[in-house]
Structure 1
């Protein structure tokens, strides 16, 4: 068993070699015992559309049975519905079997106990115990005991009530659910609200043959861009489902979902809106907003939200952010990558389906909301740059880079919340290790293209020296 699959905020690895049914049974047993020690006596279990999930669902529930905890089976549902089950019913914990936006060969587990994410040191500390218990289990399908729970109906009823004012809204949408867990629920709520939309990749497909379930990679947004006539974009696409009298190519707003529907990307005819920009749009509609953004977010966004209210910085990752939301009692939080967390009128976790409806609400209030972003101070920024490295030494590279930066005595503010963020007078650079994949992640921003290139070149020159050595 490989320790690196126990990541900062969830467990994630390749099915078959790193995550097996015997491992999953052992995990269920160990986590079940921990839940009971925290006085959590019941757990809901759900999974996304990956092909390995029914086997792992059986194994996980069997392990939880062995620990003596009551299990409610949610079936194939988006991750936010797993979280929702802990608020809608008196269920103490939740485990979602998902690898989120990762390719099809991956799988993993997101764990919540007593409405708190189970992550970081708590998660890494169970590695040895899980490893010790694997010998007690095999890979066979078991007679697992559980009670089925229809969380989808309860969740859709909640959304229908909260967003009743959107019924028959005069808006045309392009939706890409990436053949992932969002497929049915997104269609259900839009149909109930009678909103017109074109639905791409609307059926579950654990092979993700259409494209990888990661909307932050622009190449995966080709269907939405095509439907929106995005900057004269033209790409061959399959015919989507046209729903509720939608007319082809009339969409003005598009939404891309990741594999388990906790991450959303919003697309307009000539712009892809990043998570921090969404945060700024919503901050403009909250009186004296208290906002939380993670380290990859724009310095311009931090500065401008601080003019409206307060904007704090935190580590990347849904578990880190959910913890910080509770500690700081903020209204809203966001990751650049499209995790949006509403603590204003909602429960403070990342839910792409709920976020979609809040964005629609915002758009209907002001269809020209893009002007708010266009009026921000001009800044040039890179997208997230992923640098492939060895899983086992990615954190060592970051530590070496940090020490080198400190030795240079640069005229910049060093922020060590998560990796190395350097804030210059005219921009910032960030280099951090991904907690979910074998990558380093870099991002740069500056007030001019020349300065942006300067920051970029400086960072990569230093990084190349470290990797060579």
Structure 2
């Protein structure tokens, strides 16, 4: 068993070979003990639509029961409903979501929250070593748990919060990707009487129509085709497998998470905003004109931590994680972000015009460079050492909070190690096509020189 299944933000691996009975039972047992150390008396457990979830749920519950912590099952629900369970009614002390998020169908994983705080980073990795060294622990099957209907409570909460959207005339389309979002979206759409076409709302862990990652262009083709065929559809939304990320699109453009963040910030008085290191210069420059904006490491756990520490109203990642503390609880909830987008439309905001009015920038979208998990961070450190020698003459500033974000007179570049996959990630943006290509070539030439040493 590899320690790398314990990632920066969560636990993630292949069902069967990595996430098997012995591992998941041991994980449940030690998580239960960890939660009790933090004075937790109970834990809510939910799972998304993956075919392996019910089996992993039974193993996890058996381990938790050995630790003698009270278990409540939320059933098949999106990840945000697991987080929501910790705020609604103050009934639960901790939450575990069994989810593979946007990954292919044979992957699965666990997102863990203890006392409203993500269990992640170095603490999770140290914990992982304890689990992996105790896989021979005998844990019998014990499926004792109580069911809890968080789904109805969540839907009713949203219906009350967004009652002004009832009978919204604007026609929309929604792609649930056969993930967990369908169990919420379908009843919400019906009860709000929204004018919506819904695609692939039935949860199906085989993901028969496309993979549940809306940031990959091929996974948006069905939704785009729907918009193309129905001229009345003005906006469309695509959710990932566990509905903590959303992509919005119109007939003519796809809105990234940082663009949605800008739109939401415009509707908040004097907002305090947080964006990840991959976000566009436009977001930082424009929000600074009417509010306060800070930069964060990528990753939902890092962002949640900073939201608390810096009293943030709104946060976002380019990948589509949107976090509202303004009128909400501060965790990433794609369904809530979807409803806030409809709220902007209902208020009369011209979303496309607002984005088009921003300064024109040219972006080379995220490129993933294969790199071994054992050396990727060492490569980044060596790359930063070279930068500090002044080898890039027109480098204005270097931000090291998450890899290397390099600012130049007319653009910027980012090179960082992914915390969840064996890749190094690059992203580039500038005022002109020529400049963004120049920045990319300059940075990649240096990076490739460094990489050759490993």
Q: C-alpha displacement at 1:423, in angstroms?
A: 1.1
Indicate the residue corresponding to 1:245 in structure 2.
none
Q: What is the rounded CA distance, in whole Å, between the counterparts of 2:439 and 2:114 in structure 1?
A: 42
Matches within 5 A, 1:22-421: 22-89=22-89, 90-137=91-138, 142-229=141-228, 248-410=230-392, 411-421=395-405
Q: C-alpha displacement at 1:164, in angstroms?
A: 0.8
In structure 1, stretches of 5+ residues that fail to align are 235-247
Q: C-alpha displacement at 1:392, in angstroms?
A: 2.8
Q: Deviations over 1:276-308 (max 9, x none)?
A: 111111111111110000000011210111111
Assess if the C-alpha contact under 8 Å between 1:4 and 1:392 holds in 2.
no
Q: Deviations over 1:174-200 (max 9, x none)?
A: 111111010121111011101021111
Indicate the residue corresponding to 1:237 in structure 2.
none
Assess if the C-alpha contact under 8 Å between 1:290 and 1:331 holds in 2.
yes
Give the 3-state SS of the residue equivalent to 2:380 in structure 1.
helix
Q: What is the rounded CA distance, in whole Å, between the counterparts of 2:376 and 2:151 in structure 1?
A: 39
Q: C-alpha displacement at 1:104, in angstroms?
A: 1.1
Q: Deviations over 1:30-61 (max 9, x none)?
A: 11111111111110001111111111101111
Q: Deviations over 1:378-422 (max 9, x none)?
A: 111122222222233222222222222222353321101001100
Worse-superposed segment, 193-202 or 388-397: 388-397
Q: What is the rounded CA distance, in whole Å, between the counterparts of 2:72 and 2:252 in structure 1?
A: 44
Q: C-alpha displacement at 1:152, in angstroms?
A: 0.4
Assess if the C-alpha contact under 8 Å between 2:13 and 2:109 holds in 1.
yes
Q: What is the rounded CA distance, in whole Å, between the counterparts of 2:199 and 2:231 in structure 1?
A: 13
Q: What is the rounded CA distance, in whole Å, between the counterparts of 1:366 and 1:219 in structure 2?
A: 31
Give the 3-state SS of the residue equivalent to 1:333 in structure 2.
strand
Q: Deviations over 1:428-466 (max 9, x none)?
A: 100111122222111110001101001111222223223
Q: C-alpha displacement at 1:223, in angstroms?
A: 1.5
| 1:14 and 2:14 correspond | yes
Q: What is the rounded CA distance, in whole Å, between the counterparts of 1:349 and 1:226 in structure 2?
A: 32
Q: What is the rounded CA distance, in whole Å, between the counterparts of 1:143 and 1:181 in structure 2?
A: 26
Assess if the C-alpha contact under 8 Å between 2:61 and 2:142 holds in 1.
no
In structure 2, stretches of 5+ residues that fail to align are none
Q: What is the rounded CA distance, in whole Å, between the counterparts of 1:371 and 1:137 in structure 2?
A: 61
Q: What is the rounded CA distance, in whole Å, between the counterparts of 1:382 and 1:203 in structure 2?
A: 35
Give the 3-state SS of the residue equivalent to 1:135 in structure 2.
coil
Assess if the C-alpha contact under 8 Å between 1:227 and 1:250 holds in 2.
no
Question: After the TM superposition, which segments of 4 or more aligned residues of structure 1 sit over 4 Å from their partners?
Answer: none
Q: What is the rounded CA distance, in whole Å, between the counterparts of 1:11 and 1:20 in structure 2?
A: 13
Q: C-alpha displacement at 1:367, in angstroms?
A: 4.9
Q: What is the rounded CA distance, in whole Å, between the counterparts of 2:417 and 2:182 in structure 1?
A: 31
Indicate the residue corresponding to 2:422 in structure 1.
438
Assess if the C-alpha contact under 8 Å between 1:32 and 1:67 holds in 2.
yes
Give the 3-state SS of the residue equivalent to 1:181 in structure 2.
coil
Worse-superposed segment, 348-357 or 19-28: 19-28
Q: What is the rounded CA distance, in whole Å, between the counterparts of 2:451 and 2:166 in structure 1?
A: 55
Q: What is the rounded CA distance, in whole Å, between the counterparts of 1:354 and 1:180 in structure 2?
A: 16
Q: What is the rounded CA distance, in whole Å, between the counterparts of 1:224 and 1:459 in structure 2?
A: 36
Assess if the C-alpha contact under 8 Å between 1:227 and 1:249 holds in 2.
no
Q: Deviations over 1:229-265 (max 9, x none)?
A: 2xxxx8xxxxxxxxxxxxx452111000001000000
Q: CA RMSD in A?
A: 1.4
Assess if the C-alpha contact under 8 Å between 2:65 and 2:142 holds in 1.
no
Q: C-alpha displacement at 1:21, in angstroms?
A: 1.8
Q: What is the rounded CA distance, in whole Å, between the counterparts of 1:198 and 1:250 in structure 2?
A: 11
Assess if the C-alpha contact under 8 Å between 2:244 and 2:334 holds in 1.
yes
Give the 3-state SS of the residue equivalent to 2:375 in structure 1.
helix
Q: What is the rounded CA distance, in whole Å, between the counterparts of 1:104 and 1:418 in structure 2?
A: 29
Assess if the C-alpha contact under 8 Å between 1:283 and 1:291 holds in 2.
yes
Q: C-alpha displacement at 1:132, in angstroms?
A: 2.3
Q: C-alpha displacement at 1:266, in angstroms?
A: 0.5
Q: C-alpha displacement at 1:74, in angstroms?
A: 0.8
Q: C-alpha displacement at 1:22, in angstroms?
A: 1.1
Q: C-alpha displacement at 1:15, in angstroms?
A: 1.4
Indicate the residue corresponding to 1:459 in structure 2.
443
